[in-house]
Amino acid sequence: MPRPIAVLFDLDGTLVDTVPFILAAVRHTFEGQPRRPTDAEWIAGIGTPLRTQLLQFAASPEQAEQLFERYRAYWLEHHDAATHLFPGAAETVRALKAAGHPIGVVTAKIEAGAERTLRHVGLRDQVDLIVAADTVEKSKPDPMPVRHALERLDRAPAEAVMIGDSPHDLAAGRGAGTATVGVCWGAATREALAPLADHLVTRMDEVVPLVARLQVRLAH
């Protein structure tokens, strides 16, 4: 029988309901600045590293670094109160882990931030691997983070699925050769996800049965 496929999750907007928190942090960060991103502009970049997004709206790299520090201070202060799992996320991850699937988180957060979030929501012990913005040289939508996860989890691309709420998540998975699943409860619309998604899900309780079907398909 084939080995259990690796299940790679994005974090923000996929497992944790943090998009409103992210937008609040952005509004705080750019308060008083002449160039401020709209919510739609920021959402379009979710799934890429914070510094990458900030550079698009800053007058210089130096200002981008100042904005980064302002964002991080707000994030650290409000993280625990504003960070919650989507309903059913814990049960989904735990069910997949119990079924033998290696679990990875491939995120645009830095490692320290991803660690804090996963510990706060009680899922760190279920995750075998975190690949963050500062883990490897390139970030999503480049496939490098997904390839790194596959190497560390000892899985071929055909033995893995990348699940995320952003086109950047799905582009990284597709570029690495994995199956891709777009979740429709996060930052991006169904229409934005569809071109890069092999499958779309609208409810968390669809994820485990879908992974089971992908596993059966691999066996045939």
Q: What is the pLDDT of residues 131-157, one digit of tens each?
A: 999 999 999 999 999 999 999 999 999
We report the CATH number of the domain holding residue 71 as 1.10.150
Q: What is the pLDDT of residues 172-193, one digit of tens each?
A: 999 999 999 999 999 999 999 9
The pTM for the full model equals 0.94
Which of residues 62, 82, 102 is at a domain's end? Answer: 82
We report the CATH number of the domain holding residue 178 as 3.40.50.1000
Question: Is residue 1 situated within a structural domain?
Answer: no
CA distance 22 to 67: 14
Note the helical H segments in the chain.
Answer: 19-29, 39-45, 50-55, 61-82, 89-98, 111-120, 144-153, 167-176, 190-193, 207-219
Looking at the fold, whether 180 and 95 belong to one and the same domain comes out as yes
Split into its structural domains, the chain has a count of 2
Which of residues 60, 82, 104 is at a domain's end? Answer: 82
Has 205 been annotated as catalytic?
A: no
Catalytic residue among 10, 12, 17, 169: 10
Is the per-residue pLDDT at 10 higher than 80? yes
